[in-house]
Amino acid sequence: MSRPSFPKSVSEFQAWFDTDATCARYLIDSRWPEGYRCPRCSYPEAYELSSRGLLKCRKCGYQASVTAGTVLHGTRLPIRQWFWAAYLVATHTPGISAVQLQRQLGLKRYETAWAILQKLRRAMVRPERDRIVGPVEVDESYIGGLEKGRAGGRVRESSKAIVEAAVEIRGRGSGRIRLGVVNDVSGDSLVGFVQVRGLLCPAASYSRTAGWAMFP
């Protein structure tokens, strides 16, 4: 048995996931597409403790959470609200902000929307994703706001983070982007960012042009 399919429209989404119970059932079918097996004893039967979002094994009594190991683990928000958040983040073009997500979900606190968005974004990154290919341009920027006595850049003992960005060059446009934090703006750090993160082949060389580094 394969994992359940995804809704193809908003109306389908609303019909499929109208309650927390239907969302929980979808999680169960996704986690155990071949049928439930107790994580402790592998027994195939359990009953649901609906008030707690748990499955209790009929043999050993082990209680398995349907959200354990997911971005929903330990959440106090209704599962259905998480499903709506995931749908909005995955379908909103070109992307959705925490402010938009807060408004769409009717959340009281911006911080809650921001935390949900960050968790979903991290979960959407494929660890085995393909490397970006050249030519690629790489440059750094400083994240952290203004510092006293300096209009831009980064002073010594600064709290700003140095973020490297690698962008595929596709004609007049750009392709995929990779970001990462580095310790300094030296050439060694730049090359290390590209090689350690598996962006390009280890033998890549670069040259700086107009503040950018170009990897062939």
> How far apart are alpha carbons 44 and 68 in whole angstroms?
18
Query: What pLDDT is attached to residue 153?
Result: 55
Query: What pLDDT is attached to residue 129?
Result: 64
Higher-pLDDT residue of 131 and 208 is 131
- Helix, strand and coil content of the chain, in percent to the nearest 5, comes to 30, 20, 50
> How far apart are alpha carbons 142 and 172 in whole angstroms?
26
**What is the percent of the chain where pLDDT is above 90?**
33
* Position 212 confidence tier, pLDDT thresholds 50, 70, 90: very low
Higher-pLDDT residue of 121 and 50 is 121
Prediction pTM value: 0.64
Residue spans per domain, the chain: 136-215
Query: What pLDDT is attached to residue 94?
Result: 78
Residue 94, preceding peptide bond in cis (omega within 30° of 0): yes
Query: What pLDDT is attached to residue 120?
Result: 93
Higher-pLDDT residue of 186 and 12 is 12
- The pLDDT tens digits for 87-113 are 999 888 878 999 999 999 999 999 999
> How far apart are alpha carbons 207 and 213 in whole angstroms?
5
The pLDDT of 5-13, averaged and rounded, is 91
